[in-house]
Structure 1
């Protein structure tokens, strides 16, 4: 418990002990009140009392809270919120229930301290003081990133970004806050582009991760799908797993009487958030809200390589099971102990790389309550084979220079060499983390699923250039032809992210067009689950 909470709790207990008549007069004991000024002073906020209106105005940065005597209503930046009890004047002190005020004020204090820590971090880096830069790292981050690695990372960054020299560093601002991290964004202004550096702090205020993700932003993001019915479901923030790689997630629960079937969403390759945001698209948000609108609970979460980017990037022993399988099984464990979930109907849905890993998830989770799997654009062949087709297609439409294609071909040749070793990779291998590639390069999902017995639903977009339907969808059907509990659906208009487009095969530009997963995909998944 931090010092602020301890002092507020102490004040609450003191107030409760000093005015026993309140409890006896009102019958059952009520939650304790604490002096407003005590709460305010501990957060560094300012307070002003207006005797005419009997109101106290509390300000901290851009947060303004107004508390009115003998009222259980407060306003936070003009928004009316309710307290568990009325604010009361006792012994010349305005006494309030501390929970909501503590939440609002400490959130602002955490924001200020996070910005201060991030500023100190980037200032030390800018001055070349890398020993000072890592001083406020969490033990988990410091385990894989010491001052030498930090210096190497920063020195190589301009070349990796291919955006010219670093001109200056912009002002830090709060980016987001979830159940695991408070994230601060700092603009790095290069000659050719401005790239955001994200610094993530844990609950102890330590820098627990950082990342630079250089992707061209979409000008517009797909809006909430029309088939979503927000009044029929609720969303709650949850934590998947624990310890170093705990992940923030969202549980979308239908309203009404359960128990409800549930689906866990597992992303494709790369550092992806819980919505699987890809430029203008948010397919996992669409799936979550669409399925929840049809009485199916959905659990989605930030991928490990998104939430813990540096800790995974610098981990020499990082594997695909760490990246995908382990967290999917942690999600199963969470749903299995969640009220109102039908534990006989927990399904795992994997998209792209998540689909490739689905048979492995089912295998390693054989002792867990997984009822079946759903694959969206899941490769049947190995990932190197898929990638070779993908690179050749991009080169054919002018999206990949020929010299880059030749480089990629050489890297894939190295991966397909039976003697490739992640522990002792060839010097020419420059394609990322060797142990990761060694762990995934030989996985053939269709062959692995051949002897499995859990029911599967395999969905594929016919216009997908990343996981081509003509090879992958066909191979799934051929390999699993002997199984009678596998259903298939091919969608003529859909691309890799299951949004519609024109033309025989899609292209990367299509992902910049805001679009939703069509309702018929949601309907097909829901119908298959409800028929189990």
Structure 2
């Protein structure tokens, strides 16, 4: 499951009061979170304060409003209510460098802004560059509820008909390139597969990019309807022979659901697709994330176990019923009791402190109520995987802690073995993370620091397997 560095809300810049005017902050300030995610802070002087906004160019987010600017000597704090996040920094003697910390969801990351500096992204050697040896076509198609989804078709040379594949993304609001941490995995994948003779459709999630609808109110079953519409859209085109679906991460939940919705799906590729219930994935994911942060195994296990108990209560509530204030209060109290009993040193490594614990717990409560989260946590893919009757390839990365292979590989293998799939295979690639990059540890914080977008062996494995189908 791909992660959001922050929530993008594209709003106009707002005017915020400046407590004092002895320091002129006006100008464009460039920086990068942890040296990875480029940001540009725009500050303009106004009669009654500053006009300020933030851009994240590599993620396509512009004009994120600054809610407040606090200036105390050379110490500056910016708040971003719509994210929500804060940045606190200290100006140097030149007044042109601001060194500080970005804090979002209790996680602190270093960030230095320099006045006049351009925010440049990291090197991405695999990102395709024109001219391309294939045709590109912007398309739009309609989902079952009337949502219009915008995408890009890449069409190989030749008259066809061509074997085709739809790419469906992981969790979080994703554009057609599945853009994350300066990487564009689906752009790289679509380019590679099209050069191998496949017609490829990738599309913006509902509510993202050029697609209509709302992402915030959507859930797993909305995404399934969208992917089903994509498959049927391709099947209606004359230059298409047969159609497969490639799902990454949560897209691995979507694929078997689509197979249940349509008889026109001919094959499936699952990249880091979970094979157990979402609540189980999240519990193990949190334990591994804490361990990667340096937290002791005992603390990581205690936190994950407590979270697992809360999640079981949540998924017991039918999706068409609200969770209720009493259940949410019980969940917060349970997690508060667990967290406050854990060693402070371990909590600090995880970015949890006494002064931000309420914020962390409020964020958990908001997450548990979100339509996407409730559907994801409750879904068990086993019955749908066992009902598959089309060729299926499932790939994992050995260093993936978001969909850990130790948890998901064997249940995937067992489900496909029990299915009616005429051809299936499950493989784990050593040394690769959730994005199928060659990774030191698999931590999410490494995604943007790695130049590789997707390991060439994985690209070749996907193309060769599809080519082998009769």
Q: TM-score range by the shorter chain?
A: 0.5 to 0.7
2:177 matches 1:239: no
1:526 maps to 463
SS of the equivalent of 2:208 reads: helix
Give the TM-score of the pair, scaled to structure 2.
Answer: 0.63
Please tell me whether the aligned partners of residues 274 and 300 of structure 1 are also in contact (alpha carbons under 8 angstroms): yes
2:362 maps to none
Please tell me whether the aligned partners of residues 425 and 434 of structure 1 are also in contact (alpha carbons under 8 angstroms): no
Q: Give the counterpart of 1:426 among 324, 333, 341.
A: 324
Q: Per-residue deviation at 1:506?
A: 1.1
1:326 maps to 225
Equivalences for residues 212-291 of structure 1 within 5 A: 220-221=121-122, 223=124, 225=126, 230-241=131-142, 245-291=147-193
2:270 matches 1:346: no
Q: Give the counterpart of 1:381 among 276, 281, 298.
A: 276
2:341 matches 1:439: no
Q: Per-residue deviation at 1:333?
A: 2.3
Please give the alpha-carbon distance, in whole angstroms, between the structure 1 residues aligned to 2:413 and 2:324. 37
Please tell me whether the aligned partners of residues 374 and 458 of structure 1 are also in contact (alpha carbons under 8 angstroms): yes
Distance 1:463-1:477 versus aligned 2 partners, 3 A rule = same
Question: Number of aligned pairs?
Answer: 344
2:266 matches 1:357: no
Please give the alpha-carbon distance, in whole angstroms, between the structure 2 residues aligned to 1:306 and 1:231. 26
Give the TM-score of the pair, scaled to structure 1.
Answer: 0.57
1:59 maps to none
Partner deviation per Cα, 1:137-182 (whole Å, 9 max, x = no partner): xxxxxxxxxxxxxxxxxxxxxxxxxxxxxx8544799989xxxxxx
Partner deviation per Cα, 1:175-214 (whole Å, 9 max, x = no partner): 89xxxxxx9832423544576989xxxxxxxxxxxxxx99
Please give the alpha-carbon distance, in whole angstroms, between the structure 1 residues aligned to 2:417 and 2:219. 31
Distance 1:196-1:330 versus aligned 2 partners, 3 A rule = farther
1:468 maps to 404
Distance 1:459-1:261 versus aligned 2 partners, 3 A rule = same
Between 429-438 and 404-413, report the one with greater CA deviation. 404-413
Please tell me whether the aligned partners of residues 221 and 279 of structure 1 are also in contact (alpha carbons under 8 angstroms): no
What is the Cα-based RMSD across aligned positions, in Å? 3.8
Q: Which has the higher contact order (CA 8 A, sep 6+)?
A: 2
Please give the alpha-carbon distance, in whole angstroms, between the structure 1 residues aligned to 2:221 and 2:267. 19
Please tell me whether the aligned partners of residues 148 and 211 of structure 2 are also in contact (alpha carbons under 8 angstroms): no
Q: Per-residue deviation at 1:350?
A: 0.4
Please tell me whether the aligned partners of residues 169 and 186 of structure 1 are also in contact (alpha carbons under 8 angstroms): no
Please give the alpha-carbon distance, in whole angstroms, between the structure 2 residues aligned to 1:424 and 1:226. 44
Partner deviation per Cα, 1:229-262 (whole Å, 9 max, x = no partner): 8532122211132686312211111122311111
Q: Per-residue deviation at 1:419?
A: 3.7
Please give the alpha-carbon distance, in whole angstroms, between the structure 2 residues aligned to 1:421 and 1:197. 27
Structure 2 unmatched ranges of 5 or more: 1-9, 18-48, 70-76, 84-103, 112-118, 329-364
2:62 matches 1:185: yes
Please tell me whether the aligned partners of residues 350 and 357 of structure 1 are also in contact (alpha carbons under 8 angstroms): yes
2:429 maps to 491
Partner deviation per Cα, 1:375-425 (whole Å, 9 max, x = no partner): 000000011100110111112233789798688556423324x24554221
Q: Per-residue deviation at 1:219?
A: 5.6
SS of the equivalent of 2:447 reads: helix
Distance 1:184-1:518 versus aligned 2 partners, 3 A rule = closer
Please tell me whether the aligned partners of residues 256 and 385 of structure 2 are also in contact (alpha carbons under 8 angstroms): yes
Please tell me whether the aligned partners of residues 371 and 455 of structure 1 are also in contact (alpha carbons under 8 angstroms): yes
1:147 maps to none
Please tell me whether the aligned partners of residues 412 and 426 of structure 2 are also in contact (alpha carbons under 8 angstroms): no
Please tell me whether the aligned partners of residues 420 and 426 of structure 1 are also in contact (alpha carbons under 8 angstroms): no
SS of the equivalent of 1:374 reads: strand
Please tell me whether the aligned partners of residues 208 and 215 of structure 2 are also in contact (alpha carbons under 8 angstroms): no
Q: Per-residue deviation at 1:500?
A: 0.8
Please tell me whether the aligned partners of residues 243 and 266 of structure 2 are also in contact (alpha carbons under 8 angstroms): yes
SS of the equivalent of 1:480 reads: helix
Please give the alpha-carbon distance, in whole angstroms, between the structure 1 residues aligned to 2:55 and 2:370. 35
Please give the alpha-carbon distance, in whole angstroms, between the structure 2 residues aligned to 1:230 and 1:518. 23
Distance 1:426-1:320 versus aligned 2 partners, 3 A rule = same
Please tell me whether the aligned partners of residues 386 and 466 of structure 1 are also in contact (alpha carbons under 8 angstroms): yes
Larger radius of gyration: 1
2:115 maps to none
Please tell me whether the aligned partners of residues 414 and 420 of structure 1 are also in contact (alpha carbons under 8 angstroms): no
Equivalences for residues 6-85 of structure 1 within 5 A: none
SS of the equivalent of 1:488 reads: strand
Please tell me whether the aligned partners of residues 400 and 442 of structure 2 are also in contact (alpha carbons under 8 angstroms): yes
Please give the alpha-carbon distance, in whole angstroms, between the structure 2 residues aligned to 1:330 and 1:531. 26
